[in-house]
């Protein structure tokens, strides 16, 4: 057992608990360090800690320093800690930008931000041993953000209610997690409303898409591009092109959108490149 790693993990976990972040001990595999007390039961137990014993994963998470110490005392092999998401007072949401399988998740997030007109605020960023990043955001108390894997975009996983993030200072089989320089003491930033909508489950039913050659919706998108000021021309064109492709109007409106963008000051090459990016983002080919 690595006593020093366990001591450091406990110290980091207690520090996180002081910030109002509920924690649990983790093993080097990044899994909860304590085994379920019901593992020998003949049938799975629905218990989420009501039995009073440790070993219920994220449901053991606590900000109480006495309970945190008790959890680590019961798991002296722990070398890290997990931070439960979705709990009061921060209602933490984790944006996990992975680097596995050659995915460029950071670029995917930037494209989503450009497409849906939001920016990621300055907040705590945790660097993973594999080169990925965890962005910490807060959510509204009355909104439950579910966990998801690559639903938002390839390589972007979401940690929400019932999930946890590996805390900075944790030592795993692959290395040590740490905060990005200059972010450790930043306050947790609220999740942008436009991003929050993307993180929630899609509605059960979707409205019918417009049909025909564009109609009023197409004219509205073109007007949106025409009224762009300097500094927002490319962003507005990208957004309008994404909306056009989502509504089945991309091919019909491409030339009109490019023409509108050129009239605002973009070159035709820049405009067509932006529309092509929107087509790729929307899963189309123009």
| pLDDT tens-digit readout, 76-110 | 999 999 999 999 999 999 999 988 767 789 999 99
pLDDT of residue 211: 42
Are 196 and 233 part of one and the same domain? no
Confirm whether 210 is domain-assigned. no
Confirm whether 209 is domain-assigned. no
pLDDT of residue 147: 92
Are 79 and 95 part of one and the same domain? no
Q: Which residues pair with 135 in a beta bridge?
A: 95, 125
Q: What is the C-alpha end-to-end distance of the chain, expressed in Å?
A: 58
Task: Identify the sign of the CA torsion 187, 193, 198, 202.
Answer: positive
Q: Which of 96-110, 123-137, 227-241 has the lowest mean pLDDT?
A: 227-241
Report whether 168 contacts 179 (CB < 8 A).
yes
Report whether 9 contacts 81 (CB < 8 A).
yes
Confirm whether 79 is domain-assigned. yes
Using the 3D structure, point to which of 203, 237, 270 is the last residue of a domain.
203
Are 104 and 20 part of one and the same domain? no
Q: Which of 111-115, 190-194, 217-221 has the lowest mean pLDDT?
A: 217-221
19 vs 283, higher pLDDT: 19
Asked if the model's pLDDT at residue 141 lies above 80, the reply is yes
pLDDT bucket at 206, cuts 50 / 70 / 90: very low
pLDDT bucket at 283, cuts 50 / 70 / 90: low
Asked if the model's pLDDT at residue 286 lies above 50, the reply is no
Confirm whether 80 is domain-assigned. yes
pLDDT tens digits along 40-58: 777 766 788 888 899 999 9
Are 192 and 221 part of one and the same domain? no
Q: Which of 56-65, 132-141, 226-235, 263-272 has the lowest mean pLDDT?
A: 226-235
Whether residue 32 is preceded by a cis peptide bond, meaning omega within 30 degrees of 0, is no
Are 128 and 194 part of one and the same domain? yes
Are 105 and 182 part of one and the same domain? yes
Are 103 and 194 part of one and the same domain? yes
Are 75 and 113 part of one and the same domain? no
Count CA within 13 A, CB hemisphere, residue 144. Answer: 5
Are 185 and 112 part of one and the same domain? yes
- Find the mean pLDDT for residues 162-181: 96
What's the chain's average pLDDT?
88
Domain count, the chain: 3
Q: Which of 20-34, 119-133, 139-153, 195-209 has the lowest mean pLDDT?
A: 195-209
Query: Which span out of 125-134, 235-244, 248-257 was modeled with the highest average pLDDT?
Result: 125-134
Using the 3D structure, point to which of 84, 111, 129 is the last residue of a domain.
84
Using the 3D structure, point to which of 69, 84, 99 is the last residue of a domain.
84
- Find the mean pLDDT for residues 30-35: 95
Confirm whether 16 is domain-assigned. yes
Confirm whether 122 is domain-assigned. yes
Q: Residue 229 belongs to what domain range?
A: 215-281
Nearest to 85 by CA among 149, 34, 21: 21
Confirm whether 265 is domain-assigned. yes
Are 70 and 103 part of one and the same domain? no
Asked if the model's pLDDT at residue 17 lies above 50, the reply is yes
Q: DSSP assignment of the chain, as one string?
A: --HHHHHHHHHHHHHHHHTT--EEEE-TTSSBSSPPTTTTSSS----SSTTS-S--GGGG-B--HHHHHHHHHH-TT--EEEEESS-TTT-EEEEEE--GGG--HHHHHHHHHHHHT--PPS--EEE-TTS-EEEEEE--TT--PPPEEEEEETTEEEE-TT-EEEPTT-EETTEE-EEPTT-TTSPPEEPPHHHHHHHSPPPSS-PPPP-SS-HHHHHHHHHHHHTPPTTSHHHHHHHHHHHHHHTT-HHHHHHHHHHHHHHHT--HHHHHHHHHHHHHHTT---
Are 78 and 101 part of one and the same domain? no
Confirm whether 46 is domain-assigned. yes
pLDDT of residue 207: 42
Are 105 and 184 part of one and the same domain? yes
- Find the mean pLDDT for residues 273-279: 84
């Amino acid at each position: 057992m690595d006593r020093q790693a366990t001591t450091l993990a406990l110290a980091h976990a207690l520090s996180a608990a002081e910030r109002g972040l509920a924690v649990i001990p983790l093993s080097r595999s990044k899994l909860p360090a304590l085994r379920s007390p019901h593992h020998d039961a003949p049938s799975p137990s629905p218990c989420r800690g009501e039995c009073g014993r440790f070993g219920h994963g994220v449901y053991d998470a606590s900000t109480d320093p006495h309970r945190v110490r008790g959890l680590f005392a019961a798991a002296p092999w722990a070398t890290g800690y997990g931070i439960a998401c979705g709990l009061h007072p921060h209602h933490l949401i984790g944006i996990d930008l992975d680097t596995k399988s050659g995915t460029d998740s950071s670029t995917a997030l930037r494209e989503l931000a450009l497409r849906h007109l939001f920016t990621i605020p300055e907040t705590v960023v945790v660097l993973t041993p594999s080169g990925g990043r965890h962005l910490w955001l807060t959510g509204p108390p009355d909104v439950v953000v579910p966990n998801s894997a690559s639903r938002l975009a390839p390589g972007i996983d979401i940690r929400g209610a019932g999930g946890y993030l590996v805390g900075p200072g944790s030592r795993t089989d692959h290395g040590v997690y740490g905060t990005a320089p200059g972010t450790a003491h930043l306050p947790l930033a609220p999740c942008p409303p436009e991003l929050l909508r993307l993180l929630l489950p899609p509605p059960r039913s979707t409205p019918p898409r417009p049909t025909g050659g564009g109609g009023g919706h197409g004219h509205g998108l073109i007007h949106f591009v025409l009224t762009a000021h300097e500094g927002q021309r490319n962003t507005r064109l990208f957004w309008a092109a994404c909306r056009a492709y989502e509504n089945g109007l991309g091919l019909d409106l491409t030339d009109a959108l490019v023409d509108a963008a050129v009239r605002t000051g973009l070159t035709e090459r820049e405009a067509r490149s932006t529309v092509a990016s929107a087509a790729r983002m929307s899963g189309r080919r123009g």
